[in-house]
Structure 1
Amino acid sequence: MNQSRVTDFILTGFPGLHQEYYGLVSFVLFLVYFVTVVANVTVFFLFATNRSLHKPMYYIILNVSACDLLFSTTTLPKIISRYWFQSGRISFNGCFVQMYFVHYLGSVNSFIFLLMALDRYCAICHPLRYTTIIKKCTIHILSVTAWIVGIGAPLALVIRAYPLPYCGSNVINHCFCDHIGITVLACTDRSPYSFTAFVGAMLTLLGPLAFIVFSYGSIFVEISKVADPKSCVKSLSTCSTQLIIISLYYVPRCFVYLASQVGITFSAGLRIVIIMLYSLVPPMINPLIYCLRAKDIRQCLIKQFYITTGRQKAQVFAVSN
């Protein structure tokens, strides 16, 4: 039988969405991307212009912002064009490049959240040794390590999936290219490749999550030993920002994985909506959480606002005179 290899893929986006809503969906997705870019670039700007933020914890937050910005840039422009310009076609190689970065950035994010948990664990459970364990150079080394270690598993997925025979449908029922969405189209048994992907996902997701659960469990045990209620509240507030961000990343993912294991099924459309929510909403709201919960960032943002407002008033005054 003559089988021709597909040369491109088509992203369906949200299955069953009527064309009359294409404009609205593309606008909402564009707004999400715009807010994500502005919010995370603001974090970079505040960090660059305020030396008071050059602390280990904020270097970790900077890595989260970089990861969030890159992930949104990898996934959102293409799905926006799908609905804005009715252009859901993506090249064969381009789809695999997108697949790699989707899984790579997800892995890096997971490892960076492990660093967040480590920072709070040392700060609360070993406060006297915190400054000797958590230094700027230590965070730099661990952050670079996270970005390097994250390369392996996604690259293995691409190397194994790329040469598979794709000779049938080229329609990917998703908003972006991922391992399942691509390999399900292969004209071969995908179970060996699914197992590899599952193991990789468990290592990059559950490995860091196990340490995160251990670290915050230890933190809560340590806090419970403190008799002073004010000290307890203060200790909890120092890790609340990280705990909220980590929860937004892990809880929905674990829910989807566990639901599939216990037999809870979702329609294709609902599943894609859930995946899009936990993939794209956190990068948009994480900077808001930093600014509301992290005292130093909040103060720098307020300071920058007053400086900008003062300059504008001065310019208006100079023009009027």
Structure 2
Amino acid sequence: MQETPLCLSVGHLLPASMSDSNTTDFTNPSTFILLGIPGLEAAHVWISIPFCTMYVIAILGNITILFIVNMEPSLHVPMYYFLSMLAISDLVVSTSFMPKTLSIFWFKSKEIDFSACLTQMYFIHSFSTMESGILVAMAFDRYVAICDPLRHSTILTNPVVAKIGLAVVLRGGMLVLPHLFLARRWPYCRTNIIPHSYCEHIALVKLACTDIHVSSYYSLSAAFLVTGVDVSFIAVSYTQILRVIFSLPTKDARLKTFWTCSSHLCVILTFYIPALFSFIMHRFGHNMALHFHVLMANVYLLAPPMLNPIIYGVRTKQIWDSLLQLFTYKET
């Protein structure tokens, strides 16, 4: 049986007039058209208000974290180096897609250059992968700090932290490169309309008029490999951490030790739960409305960058004290 090109399946997701008016075949589009949130075009301005608020909070919060860690010598330790890497990753991910999304909502600026689309896709997916790796590095830091505290400073030296950071960056950058090369080589036909607010890989795959099984298998394998390995490592680390915590003699000691991990645990849940929900929706939520898929895809990328600095700012005493000192110094 001859397989129907996947690009044709996008037609039923688009308004009839839009689908019919873009039937000219082409293989190398110079631009793509991003629809924003299909079906909710009339509400784009209203939707932009919470999105813009979340983005501003993410930018200000993560820049504040970077500033405080840089200015406070007592925070120049592995835990806060990794937190700085997390803040940079959050800034890149949110800035890779949110300005373009807001321009669609506010100015109806829906066109995006083909190369810019691929670049946006690469930065979103590579830095999201890096963020997962950073969470693993932070779990390792907590494991050493609690399970082997006397050797923490000798195990996690500055050169070791730098090597871990480099490994995280290289893994994220290299794993996503095949997506970029494959997407550039694909022929695209019938439409250059992406029913999304940014160049998401799955949305782009559906426009290709070729056999995309290689890309689909690689995408699924990479997702399972990264998530499986990272979550397994975090789970093993926290299993050992909890064993040490529950072996402490007093309740106060157990609570105090657990509190040092609470911020990291919250950030892990903030990152992986929306990611798991988004993945399940893409694979099994075919009956859900398209606008709900797109909304969740935006929230999945925007929520962690907004919440991470809040979680660490509120729950980490050193950052909170440094922030209070900063404002107290300015007032005096």
Report the TM-score, using the length of structure 1 for normalisation: 0.91
Q: Would you say the 8 A contact 1:291–1:297 is kept in 2?
A: yes
Q: Would you say the 8 A contact 1:103–1:154 is kept in 2?
A: yes
1:187 and 2:212 aligned: no
Write out per-residue CA displacement over residues 136-193 of structure 1, whole angstroms, 9 at most, x where no aligned residue.
Answer: 2221221122112211111111111211001221111222112211111011122221
Give 1:16-55 correspondences, 5 Å limit. 16-19=39-42, 21-55=43-77
Aligned to 1:156: 178
Q: CA 1:264–1:6 in structure 2 vs 1: closer, same or farther (change >3 Å)?
A: closer
Deviates more, 1:288-297 or 1:261-270: 261-270
Give the superposition deviation at 1:230: 0.8
Q: Would you say the 8 A contact 2:278–2:300 is kept in 1?
A: no
Give the superposition deviation at 1:29: 2.4
Give 1:113-128 correspondences, 5 Å limit. 113-128=135-150
Aligned to 1:70: 92
Question: Runs of at least 4 residues of structure 1 off by over 6 A?
Answer: none
Q: Would you say the 8 A contact 1:119–1:134 is kept in 2?
A: yes
> For residue 16 of structure 1, what is the amino acid of its counterpart?
G
Deviates more, 1:282-291 or 1:262-271: 262-271
Q: Distance in 1 between matches of 2:141 and 2:157?
A: 10
Aligned to 1:167: 189
Percent identity of equivalent pairs: 33
Equivalent residue in structure 2 for 1:13, among 25, 36, 40: 36
SS of 1:10's partner is strand
Q: Distance in 2 between matches of 1:89 and 1:199?
A: 31
Give 1:190-209 correspondences, 5 Å limit. 190-209=212-231
Give the superposition deviation at 1:254: 2.0
Aligned to 1:131: 153
Q: Distance in 2 between matches of 1:262 and 1:30?
A: 30
Q: CA 1:178–1:303 in structure 2 vs 1: closer, same or farther (change >3 Å)?
A: same
- Which consecutive residues of structure 2, in runs of 5 or more, have no partner in the other structure? 1-23
Q: Distance in 2 between matches of 1:190 and 1:98?
A: 20
Give the superposition deviation at 1:18: 3.9
Q: Distance in 1 between matches of 2:294 and 2:106?
A: 19
Q: Distance in 1 between matches of 2:48 and 2:285?
A: 33
Give the superposition deviation at 1:65: 0.2
Q: Would you say the 8 A contact 1:72–1:283 is kept in 2?
A: yes
Q: Distance in 2 between matches of 1:80 and 1:184?
A: 24
Aligned to 2:251: 229
- Which consecutive residues of structure 1, in runs of 5 or more, have no partner in the other structure? 311-321
Q: Distance in 1 between matches of 2:149 and 2:259?
A: 15
Report the TM-score, using the length of structure 2 for normalisation: 0.88
Q: Would you say the 8 A contact 1:174–1:272 is kept in 2?
A: yes
Give the superposition deviation at 1:265: 5.0
Q: CA 1:59–1:284 in structure 2 vs 1: closer, same or farther (change >3 Å)?
A: same
Q: Distance in 2 between matches of 1:181 and 1:2?
A: 19
> For residue 278 of structure 1, what is the amino acid of its counterpart?
Y
